[in-house]
């Protein structure tokens, strides 16, 4: 996905030739209708899940059944609060507001201010999105970036940052130490703390350093804070906190999702907030482009953002699973790296991650191989805490040889 490993540097430049070679290995076909089209479908990376089909089959054959820790899809119930709000809003014949209901925008601003200590975020600097994956994927396009622009994202990362750059036709480069970019002047820098997949949590000083670097070059900083509610050995900090933003959201966009916070992935609910002018631009385009969060989902978001109790309930669930799974992995010879935050354990046996994948599949445990997230991560695997207590207990027992 990037050349970080092969170049021997921490920089990985992702060019169109690599995108094409990915496409060449894919079975996807572009229709012959309207010839001369770009064929965007073929430029995008393959969905790699097919490559773990054999491991999945092996894990499924375990006499006590598969423990699927590969995909981070929440399994605990959507909170009662959300369900009740959805039901109350079920009569919604008319068009919703793209900007979000006034109560929702106020609620987002209040949540960022009270929960995250954000400074200077008014309601009109917030915008609901149809789950944050669409915002991540479309942000470079919505910002009007193109072939003359460069997007920077972490070396080991959620694949959608690259997808977003590819859709917009931008250059993309992976980098964790921005100083290595030298004279390059990116238009957009992605930060993701806690990280998917590594669980790394960046401190306020490191975040502030990145913001300062980007501001000096006129780059927008987008901070994917979707796992922010889950800090374990470190407390996540929002990019909008004054220790990072220096009190001003100018040039900054914080991206939040309710999928993990509130077991709400099925509803597609998230928001972006920060720089008022940038948010205004996004809104202007999204109004024309019909990117509207359904009215009942907006009502649910209002209720959930005002409540922290259900988040604490979910935190305790993940914490308990983590306490079971982490020592079991360590007892089985795994080393856990980072994982200070988020809903994954990032583990290695210092061997090819595909070998680890197979080993765990033999125990009936399915994981995501590190190479899904970039070549620098090929010796790791990602284990999600999004399985039931019963399944996590089973995995821990199998790892401990009990």
Considering only residues 260 to 289 of the shown chain, the ones binding its own copies according to CB under 8 A are 263-268, 275, 277-278, 280-281, 284-285, 287-289
**Which residue among 78, 193, 196, 384 contacts its own copies (CB under 8 A)?**
78
Q: Is the Cβ–Cβ distance between 194 and 230 less than 8 Å? A: yes
* The total number of residues written for the chain in this structure: 402
Q: Is 369 in the site for its own copies (CB under 8 A)?
A: no
**Which residue among 15, 16, 40, 60 contacts its own copies (CB under 8 A)?**
40
Q: Would you list the DSSP string of 79-123?
A: PHHHHHHHHHT----SPPPTT--HHHHHHHHHHHHHHH---S--G
The single-letter DSSP state of residue 131 is: S
Q: Is 35 in the site for its own copies (CB under 8 A)?
A: yes
From 58-66, 92-100, 176-184, 235-243, span contacting its own copies (CB under 8 A)? 92-100
How many angstroms separate the CA atoms of 159 and 367, rounded?
17
**Which residue among 86, 204, 336, 359 contacts its own copies (CB under 8 A)?**
86
Q: Is 313 in the site for its own copies (CB under 8 A)?
A: no
Q: How far is the CB of 304 from its own copies (least distance, A)?
A: 13
Q: Is 39 in the site for its own copies (CB under 8 A)?
A: yes
HSE toward the beta carbon, residue 56, CA cutoff 13 A:
11
Q: Is 149 in the site for its own copies (CB under 8 A)?
A: yes
**Which residue among 1, 105, 133, 154 contacts its own copies (CB under 8 A)?**
133
What's CA 95's distance to the chain center, in Å? 29
Nearest to 202 by CA among 178, 218, 167: 178
- Indicate the SS3 state at residue 32: coil
From 5-13, 43-51, 192-200, 362-370, span contacting its own copies (CB under 8 A)? 43-51
List binders of its own copies among 228-257 (CB under 8 A): 250-251
From 91-99, 110-118, 224-232, 316-324, span contacting its own copies (CB under 8 A)? 91-99
Q: How far is the CB of 262 from its own copies (least distance, A)?
A: 9
From 137-145, 190-198, 224-232, 233-241, span contacting its own copies (CB under 8 A)? 137-145
How many angstroms separate the CA atoms of 168 and 228, rounded?
27
Binding letters toward its own copies, positions 170-209, x by CB under 8 A? -----------------xx---------------------
Query: Structure tokens of 132?
Result: 């944050």
Q: Is 101 in the site for its own copies (CB under 8 A)?
A: no
- Indicate the SS3 state at residue 389: helix
Q: How far is the CB of 123 from its own copies (least distance, A)?
A: 18
Q: Which is nearer to its own copies, 101 or 336 (CB)?
A: 101
List binders of its own copies among 380-399 (CB under 8 A): none
**Which residue among 7, 9, 54, 92 contacts its own copies (CB under 8 A)?**
92
| Residues forming beta bridges with residue 223, ordered by sequence position | 191, 254
Categorise residue 169: left if φ over 0, alpha if ψ from -120 to 50, beta otherwise: left
């Amino acid at each position: 996905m990037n050349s970080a490993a092969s170049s021997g540097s921490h920089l990985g430049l992702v060019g169109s030739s690599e995108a094409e070679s990915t496409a060449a290995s894919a079975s996807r076909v572009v229709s012959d209708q309207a010839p001369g089209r770009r064929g965007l479908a073929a430029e995008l990376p393959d969905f790699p899940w097919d490559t773990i089909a054999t491991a999945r089959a092996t894990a499924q054959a375990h006499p006590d059944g598969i423990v699927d820790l590969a995909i981070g899809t929440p399994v605990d119930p959507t909170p009662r609060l959300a369900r009740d709000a959805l039901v109350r809003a079920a009569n919604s014949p008319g068009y919703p507001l793209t900007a979000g209901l006034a109560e929702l925008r106020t609620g987002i601003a209040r949540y960022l201010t009270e929960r995250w200590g954000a400074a200077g975020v008014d309601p009109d600097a917030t915008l609901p999105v149809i789950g944050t994956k669409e915002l991540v994927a479309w942000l470079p396009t919505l910002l009007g970036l193109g072939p003359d622009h460069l997007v920077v994202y972490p070396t080991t990362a959620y694949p959608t940052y690259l997808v977003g750059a590819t859709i917009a036709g931008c250059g993309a480069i992976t980098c964790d130490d921005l100083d290595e970019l030298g004279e390059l002047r990116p238009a957009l820098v992605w930060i993701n703390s806690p990280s998917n997949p590594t669980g790394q949590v960046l401190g306020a000083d490191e975040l502030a350093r990145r913001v300062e670097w980007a501001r000096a070059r006129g780059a927008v900083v987008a901070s994917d804070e979707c796992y922010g509610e889950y800090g374990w050995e470190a407390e996540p900090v929002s990019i909008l906190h004054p220790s990072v933003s220096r009190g001003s959201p100018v040039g900054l966009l914080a991206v939040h999702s309710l999928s993990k916070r509130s077991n709400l992935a099925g509803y597609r609910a998230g928001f972006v907030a920060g720089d008022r002018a940038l948010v205004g631009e996004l809104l202007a385009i999204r109004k024309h482009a019909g990117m509207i969060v359904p009215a009942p989902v907006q009502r649910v978001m209002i209720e959930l953002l005002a409540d922290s109790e259900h988040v604490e309930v979910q935190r305790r669930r993940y914490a308990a699973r983590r306490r079971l799974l982490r020592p079991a992995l360590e007892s089985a010879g795994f080393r856990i790296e980072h994982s200070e935050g988020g809903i994954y354990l990032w583990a290695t046996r210092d061997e090819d991650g595909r070998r680890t994948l197979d080993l765990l599949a033999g125990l009936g445990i399915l994981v995501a191989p590190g190479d899904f997230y970039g070549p620098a991560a090929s010796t790791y695997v990602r284990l999600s805490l999004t399985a039931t207590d019963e399944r996590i207990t089973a995995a821990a027992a199998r790892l401990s040889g009990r």
